[in-house]
């Protein structure tokens, strides 16, 4: 039966529909085939995260962190993705989490595009801000935008940008601890490098780091999935340093010398306490300190470690070295008397004039009056006779004098584990030989014997004095305890000579210029020195006042040094430039601190601390 017109129309529509479906299907197949042949820009399923390693810590001997590092992070957003209607919400929340004022945040996000809000976020705040980043996504604070034909959404991004150095106790142990500078590594992360002090000397150890790496597939929240295909390299921070210096002792001494600096109106006071038989430094303190974390213009002059970098004429503290060398070469007889060269009438007190000794056109004066014409060796040391010292020193040959000073460590580095150490200066061997063939006194041996015309550092003098409290051996001072036997010693005079000089230095405290250091129940010895400061090649009316010596109980032996640079010498305080009125009281205060903190113990028969 033939189809009618209506049926034919329906059939035609069905065929057209089938044709259209077939064409659409073919187009789909073609598109899929074409797409499979093209490179697709799909997000990677793999991710890598680095765990930045930081510089090592510096610990005190009593386990306090003197220097430490922490990671710093940056926070960034793309302001084009920030919903304008929720801008105030973002600023409020970010300010609460970061403690950054709102106005500063608003200023940072005022420009259109990629913006870094902060580059100095610490690890604790960074953790909180990462949590905030997820909350902001759920609150739809950020919206997607179209860039390069693709829709993207950039939220709050928190990422590692480096490390910063922290000094929890601010100026404590400076300038010895040193300071650092910022430096970007190959990956653009901020690292720090030591510039001075221990930070510089052990920069390689402190920065011996290995960044951690986490690599593997990521989940929908971009967290790494840990499985057998994941790669994990553990982070290794830099090596830690452990000091020989206890924080409590160091801080007590620093606060004490700060008071004396103010009283003396001095330029600087330097002190150190060292174990006489090991060289272990228990304290190395200066009044000129700074905060390494925040160095200001006024701190520039304090950055140098003057205990090892500043050369000065040491004055009379050198006399025990000169005299002990002569004693060691048997140039001084037992019970020998030395003429004081103090001719003339006595004064109303029955005192002879100050001695005068002529060498060529030079006249050497004694600083003290004596009530007699002849001095014993004990008198020469206890009352610090220039003339007695030079007479004894000139008995040494040029070689004996020169080699002896060198053995004591003058004009050479002490070997302390700090950078930029100076050497000091003594005269040349040929200069000490002048007049030797004619058996004449030598002007260089003469002045050098009592510490004038040569220079030394504080640490050189301290090291040399360890011989008198260590059976004639000097020890190399050190600040870092590496868990090994660090003792480096050298015999410079015989044990017998060292013990004789030690007794003379003890008598100097009992009867001479060091009397104010005396504390019953302890063995204390030492020598004062008051020397003019040289500036621009000329002696100034400024003084370096010093006291170097030792303090012992039955079990412990310490070599201690004090220098007071340019104490006031005018008005009612004119006498402060004498070491007996400046360096000596500081020395005694150090001893009291050692007693208080149980580094020393009084003999049981002791009555009281004077």
Q: Write a three-state SS string for 205-274.
A: HHCCCECEEEEEEECCCCCECCCCCCEEECCECCCCEEECCCHHHHHHHHHHHHHHHHHHCCCEEEEEEE
CA distance 273 to 586: 12
Residue 545 contacts residue 564 (beta carbons within 8 Å): yes
Q: What is the pTM of this model?
A: 0.86
DSSP code string of 52-71: ---PPPEE-TTS-EEEEEEE
Task: Please check whether residues 376 and 443 belong to one and the same domain.
Answer: yes
* CATH number, residue 509: 3.40.710.10
> What is the DSSP-derived secondary structure letter of residue 456?
B
- What span, in angstroms and rounded, lies between the C-alpha atoms of 608 and 610? 6
Q: Which residues of 316-344 are buried (b: 16+ CB within 10 A; e: fewer)?
A: bbbbbbbbbbbbbbebbeeeeebebbbee
- Dihedrals phi, psi of 196, to nearest 5 degrees: -150, 170
Q: How many folded domains does the chain comprise?
A: 2
Task: Determine how β-strand 362-365 pairs with β-strand 356-359.
Answer: antiparallel
User: Do the domain assignments include residue 439?
Assistant: yes
In a shared domain, residues 541 and 457: yes
Question: Domain for residue 451, yes or no?
Answer: yes
- Looking at the structure, tell me whether residues 423 and 529 fall in a common domain: yes
Does residue 1 lie in a domain region?
no
Question: Same structural domain for residues 97 and 183?
Answer: yes
| Strand, coil or helix: 98 | helix
For residue 30, being part of any structural domain is answered with no
- As a residue count, the chain comes to 610
- Report the pLDDT value the prediction gives residue 77, as an integer from 0 to 100: 93
pLDDT averaged per 10 residues, the chain (length 610): 65 75 76 56 59 93 96 93 93 94 93 91 92 92 87 89 94 97 80 95 94 69 61 86 98 98 96 97 98 94 96 97 98 93 85 90 89 93 95 97 98 96 96 91 96 96 98 97 86 98 96 88 96 86 95 97 94 87 96 98 65
Give the per-residue pLDDT at 222. Answer: 54
pLDDT of residue 170: 95
Residue 15 within a domain: no
Same domain, 233 and 262: no
- Residue 592 is encoded by which pair of tokens? 């009291």
The answer to whether residues 84 and 174 belong to one domain is yes
CATH number at residue 164: 3.90.1310.10
d(CA 115, CA 470): 65
Q: What is the rounded CA–CA span in Å between residue 543 and residue 531?
A: 5
Rounded to 5°, the CA angle 284-289-291 comes to 120
Burial degree of 545 (CB within 10 A; 0-12, 13-18, 19+):
buried
Based on the fold, state whether residues 165 and 110 are members of the same structural domain. Answer: yes
Tell me, yes or no, whether 589 and 574 share the same domain: yes
Would you say 65 and 170 are in contact if contact means Cβ atoms under 8 Å apart? no
Locus of tokens 């000596």: 584
- Are residues 341 and 234 both part of a single domain? no
Pair 373, 498 in one domain:
yes
Residue 37: inside a domain? no
Q: In Å, how far are 344, 397, 442 from 435, measured between CA atoms?
A: 30, 11, 6
pLDDT in the model for residue 2: 59
Same domain, 285 and 346: yes
pLDDT at 610: 45
**Domain contains 387:** yes
Dihedral angle of Cα 421, 427, 429, 431, to the nearest 10 degrees: 160
Residue 491 sits in which domain range? 247-291+303-596
Q: Is residue 420 part of a domain?
A: yes
238 and 265 housed in the same domain:
no
Q: Report the distance separating Cα 10 and Cα 23, nearest Å.
A: 20
């Amino acid at each position: 039966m033939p189809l009618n017109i209506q049926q034919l129309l329906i059939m035609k529509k069905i065929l057209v529909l089938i044709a259209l479906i077939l064409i659409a299907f073919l187009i789909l197949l073609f598109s899929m085939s074409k797409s499979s042949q093209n490179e697709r820009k799909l997000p990677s399923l793999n991710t890598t995260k680095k765990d930045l390693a930081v510089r090592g810590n510096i610990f005190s001997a009593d386990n306090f962190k003197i220097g430490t590092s922490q990671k710093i992070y940056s926070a960034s957003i793309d302001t084009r993705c920030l919903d304008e209607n929720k801008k105030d919400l973002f600023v409020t929340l970010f300010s609460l989490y970061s403690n950054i004022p709102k106005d500063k945040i608003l200023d940072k996000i005022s420009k259109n595009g990629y913006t870094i809000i902060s580059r100095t976020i610490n690890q604790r705040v960074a953790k909180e801000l990462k949590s905030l980043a997820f909350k902001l996504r759920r609150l739809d604070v950020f919206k997607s935008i179209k860039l390069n034909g693709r829709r993207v959404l950039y939220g709050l991004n928190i990422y590692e940008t480096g490390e910063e150095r922290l000094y929890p106790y601010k100026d404590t142990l400076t300038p010895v601890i040193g300071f650092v500078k910022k430096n970007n590594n190959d990956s653009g992360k901020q690292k720090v490098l030591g510039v001075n002090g221990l930070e510089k000397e052990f920069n390689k150890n402190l920065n011996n780091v290995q960044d951690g790496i986490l690599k593997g597939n990521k989940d929908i929240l971009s967290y790494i999935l840990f499985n057998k295909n994941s790669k994990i390299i553990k982070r290794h921070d830099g090596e830690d340093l452990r000091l020989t210096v206890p924080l409590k002792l160091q801080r007590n001494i620093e606060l004490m010398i700060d008071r004396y600096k103010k009283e003396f109106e001095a330029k600087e006071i330097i002190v150190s306490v060292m174990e006489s038989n090991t060289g272990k430094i228990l304290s190395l303190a200066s009044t000129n300190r700074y905060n390494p974390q925040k160095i200001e213009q006024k701190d520039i002059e304090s950055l140098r470690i003057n205990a090892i970098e500043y050369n000065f004429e040491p004055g009379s503290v050198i006399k025990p070295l000169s005299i002990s060398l002569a004693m060691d070469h048997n140039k001084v007889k037992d019970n020998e008397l030395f003429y004081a060269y103090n001719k003339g009438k006595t004064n109303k007190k029955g005192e002879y004039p100050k001695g005068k000794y002529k060498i060529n056109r030079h006249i050497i004066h004694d600083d003290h009056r004596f009530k007699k014409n002849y001095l014993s060796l004990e008198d020469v040391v206890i009352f610090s006779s220039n003339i007695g010292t030079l007479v004894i020193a000139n008995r040494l040959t040029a070689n004996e004098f020169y080699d002896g000073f060198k053995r004591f460590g003058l004009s050479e580095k002490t070997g302390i584990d700090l950078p930029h150490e100076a050497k000091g200066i003594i005269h040349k061997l040929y200069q000490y030989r002048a007049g030797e063939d004619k058996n004449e006194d030598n002007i260089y041996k003469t002045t050098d014997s009592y510490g004038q015309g040569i220079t030394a550092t504080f640490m050189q003098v301290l090291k040399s004095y360890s011989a008198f409290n260590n059976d004639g051996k000097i020890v190399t001072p050190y600040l870092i305890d590496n868990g090994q036997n660090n003792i480096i010693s050298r015999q410079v005079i015989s044990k017998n000579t060292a013990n004789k000089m030690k007794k003379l230095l003890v008598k100097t405290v009992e009867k001479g210029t060091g009397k104010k250091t005396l504390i019953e129940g302890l063995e204390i010895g030492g020598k004062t020195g008051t020397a003019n400061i040289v500036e621009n090649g000329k002696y100034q009316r400024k003084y370096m006042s010093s006291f170097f010596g030792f303090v012992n109980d039955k079990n412990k032996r310490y070599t201690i040094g004090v220098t007071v640079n340019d104490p006031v010498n005018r008005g009612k305080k004119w006498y402060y430039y004498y070491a007996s009125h400046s360096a000596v009281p500081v020395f005694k205060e150090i001893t009291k601190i050692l007693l208080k903190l149980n580094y020393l113990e009084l003999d049981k028969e002791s009555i009281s601390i004077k």
